């Protein structure tokens, strides 16, 4: 599993903290190559990270902006991405274990909270319950233009 992380200027300090901490803990992690500055745009970071995540089913992404909302919206425009804005470790668990998220987004939280959320997300088992798998399959089929169950 490779972990990709990206943040606009409002999330850059948190991105640096998470990158350094997770790297020291032995995670295979790569930061977005998009340059961060006061005039950057969060969609660029979302698209950069998400295109790397979809290269391998085992890859996951972390996105950070002011509050996590805008960057998660942008991320979900990338085919194959299921990004959830999370604010708690419970959100992170449900995002991955119930909704099959391969990217999480947040912002405006402490370094410690962010680290706990990320670790929980990484340690959470993938979706295995039939009801959750069925729902995710509907999302995938809709994204591919194949779902006609409406």
pLDDT, one tens digit per residue, over 36-92 is 999 999 999 999 999 999 999 999 999 999 999 999 999 999 999 999 999 999 999
Let me know if 50 is a catalytic residue: no
Let me know if 65 is a catalytic residue: yes
pLDDT (tens digit, 9 = 90+) per residue, 7-40?
A: 999 999 999 999 999 999 999 999 999 999 999 9
Domains of the chain with CATH codes: 3-143 (3.40.1400.10)
Using DSSP's 3-state secondary structure scheme, residue 27 falls into coil
Q: Which of 9, 50, 51, 98 is catalytic?
A: 98
DSSP per-residue codes, 33-78: -SPP-TT--HHHHHHHHHHHHTTSTT-EEEEE-SSSHHHHHHHTTS
Q: Which of 51, 65, 83, 132 is catalytic?
A: 65
Predicted TM-score (pTM) of this structure: 0.95
Q: How far is CA 85 from CA 68, 69, 130, 131, in A?
A: 6, 6, 24, 22
Greater confidence, 148 or 150?
Answer: 148
- Sign for the CA dihedral angle at 25, 116, 74, 11 comes to negative
Please tell me the predicted confidence (pLDDT) of residue 110: 97
């Amino acid at each position: 599993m490779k972990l990709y992380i990206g943040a606009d200027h409002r999330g850059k300090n948190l991105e640096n903290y998470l990158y350094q901490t997770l790297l020291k803990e032995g995670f295979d992690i790569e930061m977005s190559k998009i340059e961060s500055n006061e005039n950057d745009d969060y969609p660029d970071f979302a698209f950069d990270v998400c295109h790397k995540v979809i290269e391998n089913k085992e890859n996951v992404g972390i996105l950070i902006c002011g509050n996590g909302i805008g960057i998660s919206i942008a991320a979900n425009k990338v085919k194959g991405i299921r990004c959830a804005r999370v604010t708690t470790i419970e959100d992170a668990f449900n995002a991955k274990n119930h909704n099959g998220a391969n990217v999480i987004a947040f912002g405006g939280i402490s370094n410690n909270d962010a680290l706990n959320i990320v670790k929980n997300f990484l340690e959470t088992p993938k979706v295995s319950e039939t009801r959750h798998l069925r729902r995710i399959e509907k999302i995938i089929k809709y994204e591919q233009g194949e779902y006609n169950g409406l």
